[in-house]
Structure 1
Amino acid sequence: MATLSRSLVDVAEQVSAGRPAPDLSALADRLSGSAILKIAAEVRALQAAGQPVLNLTVGDFSPKEFPIPAALAQACVRAFETGQTNYPPSDGVPELRAAIARLYERELGLRYPLESIIVQSGGRPGIYAAYLTLVDPGEAVLYPLPSWNNNYYCQLVGARAIEVPTDAANGFMPTAEALAPHIGAARLVVINTPVNPTGTVMPAEQLRAICDLILEENHRRARRGARGLYLLFDQIYWMLTFGAARHVTPVEVAPEMAAWTIMVDGISKSFAATGLRVGWTIAPPDVAQPIRDIIAHAGAWAPKPVQVATAELLDDAEAVHEYHQQMKTEAQRRLDALYQGFQAMRAAGLPVDCLAPQGAIYLSARLDLLGRSFDGRSFTSNDDIRRFVLEQAGFAVVPFDAFGFQGEPGWVRLSVGAVSLADIESGLQRLHRALERVR
């Protein structure tokens, strides 16, 4: 029998020779890539070249700075050792869904039935599944700017985005007054608090006003037999609030919202467990069922060993409390160091500003350099500002442009999950020196 000999085939060369241009779907053609990932690639290139960089771009955690809870790590090992490595149920292992229900009753005062709870691989599949469940192509999704990824989800489902700008005076939070003119056209409203990218927290009275707006609209729609208006409430950072800031849920401020609210949550941020991929969606049972089916068809369930371990952690109220005492203290120390550094630069007459941190792992800061110049070059865009502080100070930030914001120039997101206090101190010193050279 003849033996087939193998030789190396250059696949890239064969593909490029085989056809003149990619033949893609309309969706693939219109979908934008992540602006944040492009910035991250530039940061990695500078770090590889040996330049010191304070990397404040990533909404992630360095395990060196923020390890996951020891109780969670130990439970993961036990789950592997006891053979919890087969397929989980597509909506999540029962013990985790029950533990989530107990967590919400214990910490948020909300009692949900198990059929309302779907476990998935992080928060993103739950958000995407909620969009697919509720929004048909051409229907409108209403959300504030700056906003994380809602523009991409609208592209994915063919929705019409209605984007409502916010401002620093309101902590970059949407108000009922700003949303009201658009509420009648929307099928879905999306709100995130604590907010990525701004690190601010929506006050209870502001959330109540928005909920009242949604409920009034749904009463009008019910009278004419029209489809309802839902609220997608992203609360992935809800356990991370600081000082007087307090997280509240739509159902807490307006119980009638239980019929119209889909909440997305998980362990990624509150337990520094971004790589473990356990998230969940909580929805009215009739909405939860199609979300469950979409998650199942996509195979977007979380790994079974981590689900079993997460159930153990969430039921250990003492371990959760002790972990958050430490984690929140360390996150707030870093946020406060950045805030105080910007306040000191502002007091020295440098063109910066910032908002006091309230939640999540982010600080909103402003580098007010538009119209100024450095080394004979004028700053004409936010990207000019970003590149200047990166190249001249090794200070890596994400402009609010990456989150759709086109308002006051110079606002950027600073993320503290992967940096130390010493890193922050040296980065602020470099930034101070660089800004002193701006004219």
Structure 2
Amino acid sequence: MIDTGPQSPPAGALAGIVVADFSRVLAAPYATMLFGDLGADVIKIERPGTGDDTRHWGPPFTADHEATYFLSVNRNKRSFTADMSDKADHHDLVELIRRADVLIENFRPGTMARHGLSYDQAARINPRLVYCSITGFGSDQAAAALPGYDLLVQAVGGLMSVTGPGPGEPVKAGVALVDVLTGLHAAIGVLAALRARETTGRGQLVEVNLLGTLLSSMVNQSVGYTAAGAVPGILGNRHPSIAPYQLFPGSDRPVVIAVGNDRQFTQLCAALGIPETAHDPRFATNTARVAHIDELDRTITAKTVGQTADHWYQVLSAHGIPCGPVNDIAEAFAMANALGLDARITVGPDEDSVDLAANPITLSDTPVSYVRRPPRLGQHADEVRDWLNSPSAVEPPQHHHSNNNEPMGAHQ
């Protein structure tokens, strides 16, 4: 586990970038957290009194009654409470836009415009602003009324049609995968726009939607349809194009075996004690194995069911065959720790720290840093407002690192 402690981190790759974060729930907050990890100054705008919806999504909650859902995507941010309908608050938000490099929002289409904060309106305030809008289904009128919930998009976007134990039994992914993928695409789009601004001097509108992100992210399944007209169905834990690439039963729990080529299959057969299977015409090539997957499944299962998943993990890994047991989250973190990945971090001062999942990006010169624990609602309202009311040449507040890990006075 990494202890981020009170030390001042080195300047991040995005140091000096100010992000006006008008987002809530998951897709956009995940993107803005990535910017914060990379050194940007992220100012999270929240509704007075209630804040981000995920502050109330639980269980699980921490011992201090904080929703772990909110904690998962809101570190390295400052919470600034503002009502977009309030005249004084609106003035502060306009000033924030004037000073920001990036604005990210994921309201329903038209919401920001009703408050005078659409892209066109914001671009007149700050022509250098990169404005990112995340929606469920795009900004056309036909899509504006559709709620952009991850589960809904998994269903209508086709992901559930290829996910489940068998035909007619669709299931969702175990996490809001579409939201996370959309947040990643949004972050890439904003970075591209910032790079373009170095040449043009102008910001631009970046638009990302959940449905388009899912269709792109389904890669081989999507292009199997667009290029060959193939409409895939549910294959359970099997792969439509590779075999064996699936779960097999161990004596105690399942184990994944992921064979990607004929050489690995030959090694697998040797390790299982059935070397002749590699030369069976039904299994000699990947295409043949896919065509005879039921027979292959029975042949391999007859061997794997006699030993534990950990046994096969050790034996098959020694033969260079990709495999592994089905871990729970605790076991997954333990494995990452054993491999030296430092996947768990502690953020904040000792008396107010929280353990979170680490950012997986490693940069040799400008590493990610964990400057602030996820904020309490309105925790930084006073200092942000003081900055907004100061001369515009004054640096944004997070540029002062000496007390970055000290809790700030809450302003509810």
Query: Shorter-chain TM-score: which interval?
Result: under 0.3
After TM superposition, the score normalised by the length of structure 1 is 0.21
After TM superposition, the score normalised by the length of structure 2 is 0.22
Which has the greater radius of gyration? 2
